[in-house]
A and B are shown apart, each in its own frame.
Chain A
Amino acid sequence: MKVLGVIAAIAIFFVVLVSIDTDKSIADPVKAIVERTNVPNSVTAVYLETRLYDTVFEVIVFSITAIGVATLLGSLARAPHENQSVFHSVTVYSGGLAALSITLFLYVVLNGHVSPGGGFVGGVVLATGVVTYGLTSDFKRASSHYDRLRIKQLESASLLVIFALSTLIMLFPGMHSRLLASGTFGSTLSGGLIPILNILVGIKVYAGAWKMSGEFISRRGTL
């Protein structure tokens, strides 16, 4: 049975390898996208304007996975974790790294439409910084911000606002394109609703990624 599976896999990928046309020249879509949206970063323009429908359902899938991980791991016992520190210089470094990642998150998210970056990247950057801080110096202190800053409520609120804004953009595309055209090309304040969506997606991805990693760490225990 396994041999049959391997033969089938090799056959399928051989067909793909033969049929793929790697040198096919394509029409240049960058000019059309940038002129339509008046936003320099055409990747952000695609996933938050022309393919917004796709992004909305992607955010739904991510939220459902975060709920699933939290629910499935919720039935397991928590590992005891006490205050541990690897050694003191790491504590200092990881605090600085967390501060740096917060700054980078703000930069990447706010300038996601004029320079490389965007909501997804920003959320992952922030989650990486905070998880590194929690693993190397003080996990209790790192996880206390989740309740103190009301990240759970913030996540749900940003999800609702993402739905509302996306529905608005999809229902009234003419209004949003007038808003996009009114901004100066290349300035941070241009881009209509795209920077707001970037911030919300960043918060959403950060909250989901921290929730999933934090659940794993609190079940396994730190180092």
Chain B
Amino acid sequence: MTGSIVIYFSIMGMLAGTIGMILSKNIIKKILSLGIVETSINMMYTGISSRGGIIPPIVSGDFSLSYADPIPQAVIITGIVISFALLCLSLVLAIIIYNNYHTMDVETIERNFEREEE
């Protein structure tokens, strides 16, 4: 029950983050929306792993308890580090873009870029 609520809310978070990435014009806001999507995906995997039970899967000899599924958790523990690395790299690119164009607005950057091309 708790797991399905978590899954539905995380799908809503993913949708909100994706729409934020599409609609916002500021690069930092786009990166923040990407962070929201990543966090929602982590939350969704946590919800998926709690479908069979919510006891942490650290066994002390008793196998009859309803443990949480360890495989989605093990997948997402690498995913958390990857999302940290991805955020770092995109922030570096944002800094370089700001140093070149002195703005974070995507449309202004696009106009400046087209002017440079001509």
Interface, chain A (partner B; CB < 8 A): 2, 5-6, 9-10, 13, 16-17, 20, 22-26, 28-31, 33-34, 40-47, 51, 54-55, 58, 61-62, 65-66, 68-69, 72-73, 76, 114-116, 118, 120-121, 124, 185-186, 205, 208-209, 212, 216, 219
Interfacial chain B residues near A41, Cβ < 8 Å: 57-58
Given contact pairs A20-B7, A62-B82, A47 touches B77 in the complex (Cβ within 8 A) = yes
Complex-state Cα separation, A28 to B63, whole angstroms: 10
Which residues from 43 to 86 on chain B have a C-beta closer than 8 Å to any C-beta of chain A? 47, 51-52, 56-61, 63, 66-67, 69-71, 73-75, 77-78, 80-82, 84-86
Interfacial chain B residues near A68, Cβ < 8 Å: 89, 92
User: How many Å from the CB of B79 to the closest CB on chain A?
Assistant: 8
- Interface pair B22/A69, CB less than 8 Å apart: no
Closest residue of B by beta carbon distance from A201: B81
Interfacial chain A residues near B73, Cβ < 8 Å: 43, 46
Candidates B18, B51, B80, B82; contact of A9 at CB < 8 Å? B18
Interfacial chain B residues near A205, Cβ < 8 Å: 81
Work out how many contacts link A and B, with CB atoms closer than 8 A. Answer: 130
Complex-state Cα separation, A69 to B100, whole angstroms: 17
- Interface pair B4/A61, CB less than 8 Å apart: no
A-B contacts, 27 listed (Cβ < 8 Å): A9-B19, A10-B15, A16-B11, A22-B7, A22-B47, A25-B52, A26-B69, A29-B69, A29-B70, A29-B71, A30-B63, A34-B59, A40-B60, A41-B57, A46-B73, A51-B74, A51-B75, A54-B78, A58-B81, A65-B88, A65-B89, A66-B85, A76-B99, A120-B78, A120-B80, A186-B60, A205-B81
- Interface pair A58/B63, CB less than 8 Å apart: no
Candidates A6, A24, A46, A121; contact of B51 at CB < 8 Å? A24
Interfacial chain A residues near B70, Cβ < 8 Å: 29-30, 33, 42-43, 45-46
Interfacial chain A residues near B84, Cβ < 8 Å: 209
The 8 A CB mask of B1-32 against A (1 = contact, 0 = none) is 00110011001001100110011000000000
Interfacial chain A residues near B15, Cβ < 8 Å: 9-10, 13
Given contact pairs A29-B71, A51-B74, A72 touches B52 in the complex (Cβ within 8 A) = no
Whether, in the assembled complex, B109 has its beta carbon less than 8 Å from a beta carbon of chain A, the answer is: no
User: How many Å from the CB of B30 to the closest CB on chain A?
Assistant: 13
Complex-state Cα separation, A121 to B40, whole angstroms: 19
User: How many Å from the CB of A208 to the closest CB on chain B?
Assistant: 8
Interfacial chain B residues near A42, Cβ < 8 Å: 57-59, 67, 70
User: How many Å from the CB of B57 to the closest CB on chain A?
Assistant: 4
Complex-state Cα separation, A209 to B66, whole angstroms: 36
Interfacial chain A residues near B95, Cβ < 8 Å: 73, 76, 219
